Amino acid sequence: MLDAIIAVTLSAPDLGATARAYETQLGYRLVERATVSRPLASGWGARAMKGRDYVLMQPASGEPVFLRIVDADEPAPGYAPLRTFGWNANEILVEDPAALAPLLKEPFRIIGEPRPLDFNPNIIAMQVTGPAGEVNYFTRIPPAGSIFNLGSAKSFVDRTFIVVTGGPDVDASRAFYRDVLKMPTTDPAPTKIHVLQDAYGLSRDAETRIGIVRFPSGFLIELDQYPQAAVTRPIHRGHLPPGIAMVTFAVKSFDGLKLPWKVKPRVRPEKPYGGHRAGVIVGPAGEWIELVETVRNGQ
């Protein structure tokens, strides 16, 4: 059902500082600056966001995968990166994580130094917390590609290609994406994730069960089973979730689909919707999933 990732939405306590960090340190360019209208806030199921400023940004490559940053006005008490259920990481293609690392400064903070992946030493990744409480994985995939046909960076810092959701039951998450959203998935398997070990004070032997949701090409969703100490993400009434608030996906058609809508689809004129219908559902880990009908780049 899902064809591509269109946008990752951040709910940021300081919109200006967050946008500047992505622009000056990661080379993202401003596509649009606007204010959340009443219909748009209602379309997210977040009526309290009406009147908030937001920006839409795009990587230097020009790839049609956007970063949307919405002014949250204030932090959500009880929220910390990697410690709550929902969308927790945004994995971005880069040319060279080792070259990027010394260029990063506050409000970005490296929590996982660049290192080869255990299962494929040709892939290099590092992990960084950002100004909205988000976690970014910056990953180099060599031009030879990967087994999932994910592509390689076309600019020094390029587009989102994987989003990571953490929940209390990875098998339930897998069943949702497989049975409700009709996506091919892999059996969850144990692996070691250092940033999760560090976030929860676990030993280096601690393992996390993860599953994969596969797309036709270019994208993946990673499903993580979080430790028992993880909690439901705190959300102010009528607001977007803090940190990575929502991920927007392209769907060819809503016709004939029976989905558990939080907000039923309606036509949205703003970018990146481009006059197409969009609606919101919520996944089993509490992740907000925005679906846009037959659109990738607002055309």
pLDDT, one tens digit per residue, over 190-229 is 999 999 999 999 999 999 999 999 999 999 999 999 999 9
Residue 93 β-bridge partners? 139
Token pair, residue 144, equals 């030879």
Phi, psi (deg, nearest 5) at residue 110: -75, 125
Question: Cis (ω within 30 of 0) for the bond into 190?
Answer: no
Q: What is the pTM of this model?
A: 0.96
C-alpha distance from residue 224 to each of 82, 192, 233, 280, 282 (Å): 11, 11, 15, 22, 16
93-116 pLDDT tens trace? 999 999 999 999 999 999 999 999
User: What does the pLDDT look like over 152-189, one tens digit per residue?
Assistant: 999 999 999 999 999 999 999 999 999 999 999 999 99
- Within the chain, all domains assigned CATH 3.10.180.10 are found at 2-75+233-293, 86-225
User: What mean pLDDT is reported for the chain?
Assistant: 95
CATH class for the region spanning 86-225: alpha beta
Q: Looking at domain 2-75+233-293, does it have CATH number 3.10.180.10?
A: yes
34 closest CA partner among 234, 291, 290, 268: 268
**Spatial separation of the C-alpha atoms in residues 65 and 8, rounded to whole Å:** 8
pLDDT per position as a tens digit, 247-287? 999 999 998 889 999 999 999 999 999 899 999 999 999 99
